[in-house]
Chains A and B, each alone.
Chain A
Amino acid sequence: MRTARSTRPPTGPRQLHPGAWWLWALGLGAAATRSTNPAILLLLAAVAGYVVAARRGDAPWSRSYGAFLRLGLLVLGIRLVFAVLLGSPIPGTHVLFTLPEVPLPTWAQGVRIGGRVTVEGLLAALYDGLRLATLLVCVGAANALASPARLLRALPGALYETGVAVVVAMTFAPNLVADVRRLRAARRLRGRTDKGVAAVLSVGLPVLEGALERSIALAAAMDTRGFGRTADVPRRLARATAALTLAGLLGICLAAYGLLTAGGAGWAPPVLLLGLAAAFAGLLLGSRRSVRTRYRPDPWALPEWLTAGSGAAVAGLVGYLSTQDPAAFAPTVVPPTVPVLPLAAVLAVLLGLVPAFAAPTPPRRAS
């Protein structure tokens, strides 16, 4: 009864649990890393974009999707420019054009500036850049659908204070940008030019001073509002928490090392599981120190399962298909071929559209 009342009701327009959105977006992102086929990547980006368009709210962070899209294009552009300027290790025969090559001393052997630009090299760079851009678009989709601040609120109590620090840091950045803008404008009022690097640098100190003052004001406000109140816990419990968390983290690091190096495949997974279990137990024990309660946590109901499940399904299916049909998922660039779009892959990626229908519409401001 009590728990049913404390969460938001799972009917009507509401925000989907932020965890579900992030799992879904990470699923799409994981699928993107399994392929360099531009058709599949573009389809993934389109699916993410459609869901954002269908289900984003009207909060300020909902507009961040466009920024991530532009960032993705920028990454793609940079990747291509580098491929043109520095050449590409891909051996190619179809020469598009030849740039004048800068002669380099012998110690810089292996590095090339200018020279032949081939279709193969450019295609490889394009596919590679597109993969990274798609990944960014997926993160951008998660960002637009659920702000990271909301995700952090769903963290267990022991991580709460870390979460607040991250949230404060995240609001710090936009404030800093606003400050730099304001102070650059103020430079004009002093009769100095507001253009160029020097103008930005010269406002550095006042901006930092302002940011520091604001942080101190916020810290004071948080303190007067009860931030950091803790419950008394026995010393033994506190020690056990610390030991468990530390052991858990060590275990996870060891396992990660084992997984990444050859020969660790045997012992690493069990160590990883043990480490995760220890860290989780530490977090649970640590939560006892915190007296916080949570106001109307988002419920985890059917739409959340469907959304997170669709992300996992896309990641799983694309991962499986890519091992079955590697040629379709990583089209060869030497010689250049027209990428094909296998029907199975299309269906798998389209599963990512489920949240556009399964997720509840976000509440909108009447205006």
Chain B
Amino acid sequence: MITFEQVSIRYADAAAPAVEGVDLTVPEGELCLLVGPSGSGKSTLLGAVSGLVPHFTGGTLHGRVTVGGRDTREHRPRELADLVGTVGQDPLAHFVTDTVEDELAYGMESLGLPADVMRRRVEETLDLLGLADLRDRALTSLSGGQQQRVAIGSVLTVHPRVLVLDEPTSALDPGAAEEVLAVLQRLVHDLGTTVLMAEHRLERVVQYADQVLLLTPGAAPVLGEPAEVMAHSPVHPPVVGLGRLAGWRPLPLSVRDARRKAAGLRERLDGRRPGAAPAPTGAPIATVARLAVRRGPVQALRGVDLVLRPGGITALMGRNGAGKSTLLGSLVGLHTPASGAVTVGGRTPHRTRPAELIREVGLVPQDPRDLLYGESVTAECAAADTDAGAAPGTCRALVERLLPGIADTAHPRDLSEGQRLTLALAVVLTARPPLLLLDEPTRGLDYAAKARLVEILRDLAAEGHAVLLATHDVELAAELAHRTVILAEGEIVADGPTAEVVVSSPAFAPQVAKVLAPGPWLTVHQVAEALSA
């Protein structure tokens, strides 16, 4: 269905080609997963299939890409629209109209399908994706998972034979991601659609893949069976890590497969317990008492109580719209409480001058770009030193300590996701706030950048910072957090040591916990330590 013959793509001002020497054939009806670190050319390869590369992005394409027999060099994206459907990371950037039904019809209108066919297909798609109740809703009023399903539906109505997805679940909570992946699996099984997908969160998707294409910068791409590729892949989900550790063959890719093989491992681990980190004590840095916040017509928080102590890392979880960002915003004074109180370092955030508040608490927002206005890394760091009243060079030294090797002259918008997050983190840390808040920090991060972030945050906690992070990433919470708080509809529904909270919850349990349940194990690392002890 999709063939790449000796494809290399180089962008105009790039020193090296974005991808080189790709030979690849994806047969009809397969789900092919692209795996690799940031900057390995996943998005470029996806763009080459939909025709956006090179027609829209520029750059030079050598070799030949054909989709359903059409050469993408000769066909522009709009001429491939009946064959290839493309969905990106942010559904809102994809929508052209304003209601669900119109959005589903938009692609068919562009292709000039007859009215009765459009009518039938919209109804079919509404049922296929479980959107029938939402048909008249405005797109902006939908939740993240619903929006992503509409985005997929809007390209499905033209009956494309190929679906190209660039990180479709990275912005979604675990439940919404399940929804989207269930739909994709149904498409592959029932309609024979060929799916090409890039995704960093392998633990969510690798079990559905028929083939995996592993891209490594500077090395030839490897295509193969998921289990084979995962056996050697530097990036892999925890269940694969556990399988490698225990020496299971063939390597299990899903929790179910792993559980069937795990009886022996569970026996060996019986009676042992992971070394628990001591619960942080000490005077609270921040206290939230019966906090209620309204945002427009929405009651975002209702009576939240929370105490944060130095040295503790707390994960804040819950579905999209549960009030996580509002809670973080209240701690930095972005929202005025309707009732209740917030105290950070003895101050009330929304009544404190920003210049004083940044010495008490720092927030890295969901999109770190919001925090960066500088023309270069140097300018950004200099501005941060001035804002915080720190000695010149403080911020730059922090950047170098957190992630060495970021160029001075680089524009913040040109950095990779991981570098940008580190820069924003350094900017925030320049004022040395004892309380550090992060909103969805692993969105778009590859495994290496995530591992680096885990190290950085552990070090900061060891130095006595209190860290509160809002995240959908259950593996990150399991790896890092001493304590997990789950929010739903603006209320705290669970609050306790991470092991206790996540093991008991099917949605928020990490893979290792699911495989080794009812044991208290959360990460591959803990299991490895227990086995070697």
**Does A221 lie within 8 Å of B109, measured CB to CB?**
no
**Does A295 lie within 8 Å of B93, measured CB to CB?**
no
For residue A249, give the distance in angstroms from its CB to the closest CB of chain B.
27
**Does B78 lie within 8 Å of A229, measured CB to CB?**
yes
CA of A320 to CA of B329 in the docked complex: distance in angstroms?
60
**Does A188 lie within 8 Å of B158, measured CB to CB?**
no
Interface residues of B in 356-378 (CB under 8 A from A): 357-358, 362-363, 365, 369-373
CA of A60 to CA of B99 in the docked complex: distance in angstroms?
10
**Does B354 lie within 8 Å of A194, measured CB to CB?**
yes
Interface residues of B in 33-90 (CB under 8 A from A): 50-52, 56, 76-82, 84-86, 88, 90
CA of A190 to CA of B370 in the docked complex: distance in angstroms?
10
**Does A209 lie within 8 Å of B413, measured CB to CB?**
yes
Interface digits, A213-225 against B, CB 8 Å rule (1 contact, 0 not)?
Answer: 0100111111111
Set A147, A183, A228: member contacting B370, Cβ < 8 A: A183
**Does B96 lie within 8 Å of A191, measured CB to CB?**
no
**Does A182 lie within 8 Å of B96, measured CB to CB?**
no
Interface digits, B91-115 against A, CB 8 Å rule (1 contact, 0 not)?
Answer: 0011111110110011111111111
**Does A186 lie within 8 Å of B371, measured CB to CB?**
yes
CA of A296 to CA of B104 in the docked complex: distance in angstroms?
12
Set B95, B116, B332: member contacting A5, Cβ < 8 A: B116
Contacts of A365 in B (CB 8 A): 136-137
**A264 at interface (Cβ–Cβ under 8 A)?**
no
**B196 at interface (Cβ–Cβ under 8 A)?**
no
**A206 at interface (Cβ–Cβ under 8 A)?**
yes
Contacts of A366 in B (CB 8 A): 133
Contacts of B387 in A (CB 8 A): 190-192
| B81, B99, B113, B365, most chain A CB atoms within 10 A | B81
Contacts of B427 in A (CB 8 A): 190
Interface residues of A in 184-227 (CB under 8 A from B): 185-194, 202-203, 205-206, 209-210, 214, 217-227
**Does B77 lie within 8 Å of A294, measured CB to CB?**
no
CA of A222 to CA of B111 in the docked complex: distance in angstroms?
12
**A2 at interface (Cβ–Cβ under 8 A)?**
yes
CA of A206 to CA of B370 in the docked complex: distance in angstroms?
8
**Does B98 lie within 8 Å of A226, measured CB to CB?**
no
Closest residue to A195 on the B side, CB-wise? B354
Set B50, B140, B354: member contacting A192, Cβ < 8 A: B354
**Does B88 lie within 8 Å of A295, measured CB to CB?**
no
**B288 at interface (Cβ–Cβ under 8 A)?**
no
**Does B354 lie within 8 Å of A193, measured CB to CB?**
yes
CA of A303 to CA of B393 in the docked complex: distance in angstroms?
71
Q: A189-B365, A220-B52 are in contact. Are A225 and B113 (CB under 8 A)?
A: no
**Does A182 lie within 8 Å of B333, measured CB to CB?**
no
CA of A164 to CA of B320 in the docked complex: distance in angstroms?
31
Contacts of A291 in B (CB 8 A): 111-112
Set B93, B136, B365: member contacting A221, Cβ < 8 A: B93
**A166 at interface (Cβ–Cβ under 8 A)?**
no
For residue B511, give the distance in angstroms from its CB to the closest CB of chain A.
32
Set B101, B118, B355: member contacting A191, Cβ < 8 A: B355
Contacts of A183 in B (CB 8 A): 370
Q: A189-B371, A221-B96, A223-B56 are in contact. Are A292 and B115 (CB under 8 A)?
A: no
**B532 at interface (Cβ–Cβ under 8 A)?**
no
| A190, A203, A221, A228, most chain B CB atoms within 10 A | A190
**Does A188 lie within 8 Å of B138, measured CB to CB?**
no
Interface digits, A293-337 against B, CB 8 Å rule (1 contact, 0 not)?
Answer: 111100000000000000000000000000000000000000000
For residue A48, give the distance in angstroms from its CB to the closest CB of chain B.
23
Set A193, A205, A218, A221: member contacting B373, Cβ < 8 A: A205
Contacts of A194 in B (CB 8 A): 354
**Does B428 lie within 8 Å of A189, measured CB to CB?**
yes
For residue B139, give the distance in angstroms from its CB to the closest CB of chain A.
10
CA of A206 to CA of B114 in the docked complex: distance in angstroms?
44
Q: A60-B141, A203-B373 are in contact. Are A224 and B50 (CB under 8 A)?
A: yes
**B431 at interface (Cβ–Cβ under 8 A)?**
yes
Q: A164-B96, A293-B114 are in contact. Are A227 and B78 (CB under 8 A)?
A: yes
Set B106, B115, B332: member contacting A225, Cβ < 8 A: B106
**B122 at interface (Cβ–Cβ under 8 A)?**
yes
CA of A185 to CA of B366 in the docked complex: distance in angstroms?
13
Set B84, B119, B136: member contacting A6, Cβ < 8 A: B119
CA of A162 to CA of B58 in the docked complex: distance in angstroms?
26
**A341 at interface (Cβ–Cβ under 8 A)?**
no
Closest residue to B86 on the A side, CB-wise? A224
**Does B112 lie within 8 Å of A292, measured CB to CB?**
yes
Contacts of A219 in B (CB 8 A): 56
Set A171, A217, A293: member contacting B113, Cβ < 8 A: A293
**Does B358 lie within 8 Å of A295, measured CB to CB?**
no
Contacts of A60 in B (CB 8 A): 138, 140-141
Closest residue to A179 on the B side, CB-wise? B370
Interface digits, A342-366 against B, CB 8 Å rule (1 contact, 0 not)?
Answer: 0000000000000000000001011
Interface digits, A7-23 against B, CB 8 Å rule (1 contact, 0 not)?
Answer: 00000000000000000
For residue A196, give the distance in angstroms from its CB to the closest CB of chain B.
12
For residue B396, give the distance in angstroms from its CB to the closest CB of chain A.
16
For residue B419, give the distance in angstroms from its CB to the closest CB of chain A.
18
CA of A39 to CA of B113 in the docked complex: distance in angstroms?
53
| A205, A220, A291, A295, most chain B CB atoms within 10 A | A295
Closest residue to A185 on the B side, CB-wise? B334
Contacts of A203 in B (CB 8 A): 373
**A155 at interface (Cβ–Cβ under 8 A)?**
no
CA of A224 to CA of B93 in the docked complex: distance in angstroms?
13
Contacts of B358 in A (CB 8 A): 189-191
**Does B334 lie within 8 Å of A188, measured CB to CB?**
yes
**Does B98 lie within 8 Å of A188, measured CB to CB?**
no
**A149 at interface (Cβ–Cβ under 8 A)?**
yes
- Can you list 28 A-B contacts (CB < 8 A)? A2-B114, A2-B115, A167-B97, A168-B96, A188-B354, A189-B354, A189-B428, A190-B383, A190-B427, A191-B355, A191-B387, A191-B431, A193-B355, A203-B373, A217-B88, A217-B90, A221-B95, A224-B50, A224-B77, A225-B96, A226-B107, A291-B111, A292-B109, A293-B112, A295-B101, A295-B102, A295-B119, A366-B133
* Beyond known contacts A223-B77, A292-B109: 11 more, CB 8 A cutoff: A2-B115, A2-B116, A188-B354, A193-B355, A217-B90, A218-B94, A220-B77, A221-B86, A229-B78, A295-B122, A296-B101
List residues of chain A with CB under 8 Å of any chain B CB: 2, 5-6, 59-60, 147, 149, 153, 164, 167-168, 171, 182-183, 185-194, 202-203, 205-206, 209-210, 214, 217-229, 291-296, 363, 365-366
The 6 closest A-B pairs by CB, nearest first: A6-B115, A226-B81, A295-B105, A226-B110, A291-B112, A191-B358
